[in-house]
């Protein structure tokens, strides 16, 4: 998680710079909007009303995992409990909202669990049949340079991102990729950061990128999927550049964890 901080900041900065430059070049892309002007202490109300709750949930979940206080599953439960407490404190917790949240969670969790079930079955069959070990040994005996092998793995992940959901990608590829990475003595933090960048790319890749579907769901009716596909191209390019940066300069990913630990 700490290894992803520097690449994440670089990617975020690249996105922000691109948006600012594009709007400076073509102001019509960001039309003027009306804002409510607050005076005195009222200026801080939007910050405490909208920013603090979201950031505090993020901090609680990530801090509990990073400090080793809780597993990822336990951290998710802590985040859910903290969200309920915040909703109650902000007087937004009602029976209707709670039922809607539980229904949405049940539908999404059910879908993800069936995906995990299929992917887990696939990975277990590979493992019990010896196919995983056989594939690892075959690939290892090819004598490919480690960097070439890692590059091939990244290409496979990007290709899968066109068609496969992220949880399935991890369940299918990690049982094969991780033994190879460990066998070749490759830094697992460096590999993990690049793996996550490829997961993020999969969220943006047409035609089935989850973030693209989300954007379509919240966009005005006149915005088509074609518009969204064209608009996402610069962000894909910047993500690929950051992936290449981490690939050729591993210190971008491993420097901070080594400095802290």
- % of residues, the chain, pLDDT over 70: 93
User: Which pLDDT value is given to residue 53?
Assistant: 85
CA-to-CA distance for 182 and 177, rounded, in angstroms? Answer: 9
CA 158 to chain CA centroid, Å, is 14
Q: How far is CA 18 from CA 23, 29, 153, in A?
A: 9, 13, 29
Q: How far is CA 218 from CA 173, 205, 213, 214, 215, in A?
A: 32, 18, 9, 7, 5
User: Which pLDDT value is given to residue 133?
Assistant: 67
Mean pLDDT of 11-31: 90
- Binned at pLDDT 50, 70 and 90, residue 132 comes out as low
Q: 225, exposed or middle or buried, with CB in 10 Å at 0-12, 13-18, 19+?
A: middle
Name the token pair of 110: 């059910």
Number of C-beta neighbours around residue 131 at 10 A: 13
User: Which pLDDT value is given to residue 185?
Assistant: 86
Mean pLDDT for all residues in the chain: 83
Verdict on whether the full-model pTM lies above 0.85:
no
Sequence-distant (6+) residues with CB within 8 A of 5 are 256
For 183-198, write each residue's pLDDT tens digit: 888 899 999 999 999 9
CB 23 within 8 A of CB 29: yes
For 96-128, write each residue's pLDDT tens digit: 888 888 887 887 777 767 766 776 676 677 667
Sequence-distant (6+) residues with CB within 8 A of 252 are 6, 7, 10, 245, 246
CB 189 within 8 A of CB 253: yes
Name the token pair of 34: 């009306």
């Amino acid at each position: 998680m700490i290894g992803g901080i520097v690449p994440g900041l670089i990617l975020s900065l690249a996105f922000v710079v691109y948006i600012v430059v594009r709007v400076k070049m073509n102001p019509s892309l960001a039309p003027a909007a009306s804002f409510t002007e607050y005076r005195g202490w009222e200026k801080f109300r939007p910050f405490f009303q909208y920013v603090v709750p979201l950031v505090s949930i993020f901090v609680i979940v990530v801090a509990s995992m990073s400090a080793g206080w809780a597993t990822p599953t336990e951290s998710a439960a802590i985040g859910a409990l903290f969200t309920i407490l915040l909703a109650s404190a902000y007087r937004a917790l009602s029976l209707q909202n709670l039922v809607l949240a539980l229904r949405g969670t049940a539908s999404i969790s059910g879908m993800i669990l069936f995906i995990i079930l299929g992917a887990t079955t696939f990975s277990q069959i590979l493992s019990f049949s010896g196919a995983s070990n056989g594939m690892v040994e075959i690939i290892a005996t090819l004598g490919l340079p480690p960097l070439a092998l890692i590059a091939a793995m990244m290409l496979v992940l990007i290709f899968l991102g066109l068609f496969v959901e992220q949880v399935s990608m991890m369940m299918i590829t990690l049982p094969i990729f991780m033994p190879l990475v460990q066998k070749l003595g490759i830094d697992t933090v460096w590999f993990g950061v690049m793996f996550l960048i490829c997961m993020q790319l999969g969220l943006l890749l047409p035609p089935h990128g989850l973030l693209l579907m989300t954007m379509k769901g919240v966009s005005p009716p006149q915005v088509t999927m074609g518009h969204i596909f064209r608009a996402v191209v610069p962000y894909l390019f910047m993500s690929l550049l950051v992936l290449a940066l981490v690939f050729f300069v591993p210190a971008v990913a491993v420097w901070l964890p080594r400095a802290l630990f």
